[in-house]
Chains A and B, each alone.
Chain A
């Protein structure tokens, strides 16, 4: 008997193909999409309360977006050939569109929006700072030092348009990841039209939670007070989006159980055994129901600011764990059962190999030093902003 295998698996199915790195990739792009949607609430929907975290959300999105391709590169059998996806993208493949959606989002949306918003500061810093940092700012000005009110008004209008295009672009950036899984007819755990939508809403949840945690952490590091009106609004949106996300996940579950098709028994067994801890305990109880309950308490009961802050950061941290567990359950869960529905295998995650736990942890930490550099280079806060 093959070790780790229960029942029968097609011989080539025993070894998992997509590892923890492929769990990380949708998680990271989800944080990007969610943080960006939060930023767009202020810009497009003019929700003034969230203005304080507008710039922070954009920089957080950028820090994570820069790290996003790295788990994929580490996973590829031939990362040196990955450029082929740009050269000869196969138009029938959802994955082929990745490169272009990513580049579009990075260059045409995120970097452009950040540049347009920060241009006043960039020009000021290009003139006032010293070498070598001065050269970075000088390069970012693209040689134009015009920051007259008229030019800044134009920047504002164009930036608004970019944010507007950015919202469907963010949906596309993460929605297509859901489609990559959802369109695989061979895999009944993945194949559902709900997949892109569930991915998108869980992305928004994780992105909002991430900004909530990061904002609170940074204000504490800077020794300042967090803007409570902002925190309350962000937590409120987290709560609403979480309700929608949870409803969608429940819809998928109820639908599967009700229809009870050929795959149901095999999948149900898997969820109750090999996926019990990550799905039932981590994702549903600790990662969804508990944070929703905590947030519901803050919405219904009048609590003092310090108590609200603790509840927000607890709920947001649990959410982040829960959404990571969700990605795990989709990616790894989809490979633990046999397509013959007669058996199960085990994921043997290694530690210090190219696709092991160690690089996964390193990649999850990496966005933070990058964010730190971005915050130093392009400080987001009002008191330092040029008029």
Chain B
């Protein structure tokens, strides 16, 4: 027995080396894996908080309506009732947070209106579309109020 042990001593050293390696790995693992990993699933629970904390650019139409009641009322009566304020005016959460300093920019009707209303055969047939010479060179605003576009 003693002889076998003497002749396989190098193997015992190898096994001990392997055991040390595994132990070091487990210690590193304990120290480095982020806290909260595995709380809800195989991921870092803190990621949910990180993502939720991202900044917001669009305030949402309800925020606009708390101050701009007149435009909201006008819009609610027309065909653009379902079009959110920021769909045309762009992201304005910064303005909603600090209305006096950050101002909204009035969008240019020529590009804005055409984005939706330029005729295309792929658009639904019931959707109001205009092509070519609809306005005879006149700007859209000459006949249509964007908040309530009925003639």
Q: Do A and B bind each other?
A: yes
B26-71 residues at the A interface, CB under 8 angstroms:
28-29, 32-33, 37, 42
Once the chains are docked, how many angstroms separate the CA of A142 from the CA of B6? 14
Distance in Å: Cβ of A370 to nearest Cβ of chain B:
22
Indicate which residue in A90, A115, A142, A151 contacts B8 across the interface (CB closer than 8 Å).
A151
Distance in Å: Cβ of A307 to nearest Cβ of chain B:
47
Instruction: Assess whether B8 is in contact with A154, with CB atoms less than 8 Å apart.
Output: yes
Distance in Å: Cβ of A113 to nearest Cβ of chain B:
12
In the complex formed, the residue of A with least CB distance to B32 is A87
Residue B115 is within 8 A (CB to CB) of chain A in the complex = no
Residues from chain B with a CB closer than 8 A to the CB of A83 are 32
Instruction: Assess whether B42 is in contact with A90, with CB atoms less than 8 Å apart.
Output: yes
B1-34 residues at the A interface, CB under 8 angstroms:
3-4, 6-11, 13-14, 17-18, 21, 25, 28-29, 32-33
Instruction: Assess whether A146 is in contact with B9, with CB atoms less than 8 Å apart.
Output: yes
Residues from chain B with a CB closer than 8 A to the CB of A119 are 10
Indicate which residue in A88, A115, A143, A150 contacts B7 across the interface (CB closer than 8 Å).
A150
Instruction: Assess whether A148 is in contact with B7, with CB atoms less than 8 Å apart.
Output: yes
> With contacts defined as CB atoms under 8 Å apart, how many contacts are there between chain A and chain B in the complex?
42
Instruction: Assess whether A142 is in contact with B14, with CB atoms less than 8 Å apart.
Output: yes
Instruction: Assess whether B42 is in contact with A151, with CB atoms less than 8 Å apart.
Output: no
Residue A158 is within 8 A (CB to CB) of chain B in the complex = yes
Contact status of A88 and B37, CB under 8 A, knowing A146-B6, A146-B7, A150-B3: yes
Contact with B along A137-172 (1 / 0, CB 8 A): 000011110101011001000100000000000000
List 12 other contacts, CB 8 Å, given A142-B13, A144-B10: A83-B32, A86-B29, A87-B28, A87-B33, A88-B37, A90-B42, A91-B42, A107-B18, A142-B10, A146-B7, A150-B3, A158-B11
